[in-house]
Amino acid sequence: MKAYKDMSKEELNSLHTELKAQFEKLKAAGISLDMSRGKPGTDQLELSTPMLDVLTSTSTFKGEDNVDFRNYGILDGTKEAKKLFAELMECPVDHVMIYGNSSLNIEYDLISRAMIHGIAGNTPWCKLDKVKFLCPVPGYDRHFAITESFGIEMINIPMDENGPDMDMVEQYVNNDPAVKGIWNVPKYTNPAGIVYSDEVVRRFANLKPAAPDFRIFWDNAYCIHHLYPDNKAQMLNIVDECEKAGNPDIYYQFCSTSKVSFPGAGVSALISSPTNIAEVKKHFTIQTIGHDKLNQIRHVRFFKDAAGVHAHMEKHAAILRPKFEAVLDTLEKELGGLEIGTWNKPLGGYFIAFDTIEGCAKRVVGLCKEAGVVMTPAGSTYPYKNDPKDTSIRIAPTLPSAEELKKACEVFVLCVKLASVEKYMNM
C-alpha cells in the first residue's frame, strides 16, 4: 500500500470506511488491557520469589558492622548493600548511600531539601524569584511531575540519537544562574531507548554552571536492563568523568532494584561525591532513623555480587525480548512504508517510543482507550503534559502476556491508521 500522504481524497475516504469497520469490530470484542505503565509481568516477578526464602527465623542477622539488622542503626545503609551497589555502579563505596524501595523518593527528597534548605550553603530555592530545570524530551513523566509540583519552571531540551542537545544545555547551564538542574535517564532513556554518547557524557561532566548549586540529576534506572546480552550498550561512567573534569560534586546519580527484584519492595541508592553524601546525611539524621536493613541484606544474600545481578538480568531479558520484538515486528509489518509513524528499536530499557504524524498522538491514544487498550496519556513524555507537536506515544510492552500483547498491537496499529487517515482527510 502506498503512503497515506500520497493518496487521493477518494482513496482516503474508502480506506477510512474500511478502517472504521475494523475498529467497530475490535470494540465489540470487549478487549480490556492496561499498558499505561512499564510494569514487569508476573513471569518476571517469579524470578525473584525465591528471595523471600533467604531470611528465616533461623537466619543470622548480624553483618560486617556487627549491628543487628533487625534493630535501629546504620543510617546510610549496610556495608554489604553499599558494596553491592558500588560494584554494580562501578564507583567507590564512599560514594554510595542506600535508601528504601524507590529512587523517585530520593529525587523528590533532594528537590524538596534544595527548596527548603538550599544546596551546599546556597540560598534555598524557595527564596529565589525563579528556579528553572532542564528537561530532555521525550522524557520520564514522574520526573516532570516532581519539578512541576514545586512550581519549578521546566524547559524542553530536544534529544537525538546521542542524547540531549548539549549546545542548548551548555547555553542554559553556563549562562543562567536560575537553572538549577537537569533531569536525565542516560541509558536506554524513557521512552526513546537512547544511550548517551561519550561526547554527551563528557560535556555534562565539563559543564561550568552559572549557579553554584546546579546539579545533574542522573537517573540511571535502566543501566543493567539489556535486552540483548550479547549486545549490551556501553556508556561512560558519570562518576569518573566528573572527577576527571574537576566537577566531583555536580551530579546526583540514582539507581534501584525496582525492576530487578520486586517493584515497590526493592532497594535504591544515591551515588554522589562524599561531599554531597555528607550533606544529605546531615539532614537525613532528622528525617529518618534508617531504611529497611532486612530488605537490604535479603537482596545481598540473594544476588551475592554484581555478577549475580547481571545473571539475573539475563533471565529478565529472555522474557522481555520476545515481547519487544513482537511489537516491533507488528509495527514494521502493518505500518512500514505508510509514512504515518516512526519508532525506535531499543537495545534495552522498558519502552518503545512511537511518533505519529503531527497532531495525531492524542487521537491515537483516545481511540485505543475506546477499543479497550489503556496507554500512557499522550503528552506525558513532555513537561506539563504538553507535547507541542502532539506526536509522542510511549508503548509499554512488558506487563501483558504474549496473547494480550498481540491483541494490544492489533488495536494500536489500527488506531494509528485510523487517526492518520482522519488527519489527511481534513487537510
Cell of 53: 526464602
The verdict on whether omega for the bond into residue 138 sits within 30 degrees of 0, i.e. cis, is yes
Q: Which of residues 304, 333, 355 is at a domain's end?
A: 304
Alpha-carbon separation of residue 116 from 125, 127, 128, 176, 277 (angstroms): 7, 9, 11, 21, 18
56 within some domain: no
Q: Which of residues 242, 270, 304 is at a domain's end?
A: 304
How would residue 414 be classed by pLDDT, with cut points 50, 70 and 90?
Answer: very high
Does residue 406 share a domain with residue 383?
Answer: yes
349 within some domain: yes
Does residue 396 share a domain with residue 247?
Answer: no
411 within some domain: yes
- Whether the pLDDT of residue 200 is over 80: the answer is yes
Does residue 321 share a domain with residue 176?
Answer: no
Does residue 330 share a domain with residue 212?
Answer: no
* Span 326-356, pLDDT tens digits: 999 999 999 999 999 999 999 999 999 999 9
Does residue 230 share a domain with residue 162?
Answer: yes
Q: Which of residues 283, 304, 325 is at a domain's end?
A: 304
How would residue 2 be classed by pLDDT, with cut points 50, 70 and 90?
Answer: confident
Domain that holds residue 322: 4-44+310-425
Does residue 254 share a domain with residue 150?
Answer: yes
DSSP string for 103-128? HHHHHHHHHHHHHHT-STTPPPGGGS
- Whether the pLDDT of residue 121 is over 80: the answer is yes
Indicate yes or no: pTM above 0.95.
Answer: yes
Does residue 132 share a domain with residue 29?
Answer: no
278 within some domain: yes
Q: How many domains does the chain have?
A: 2
Q: What CATH number does the domain containing 271 carry? A: 3.40.640.10
Helix axes 9-28, 402-425, angle to 10 degrees: 150
DSSP 96: E
Does residue 98 share a domain with residue 121?
Answer: yes
Does residue 321 share a domain with residue 298?
Answer: no
Phi, psi of 115 (to 5 degrees): -65, -45
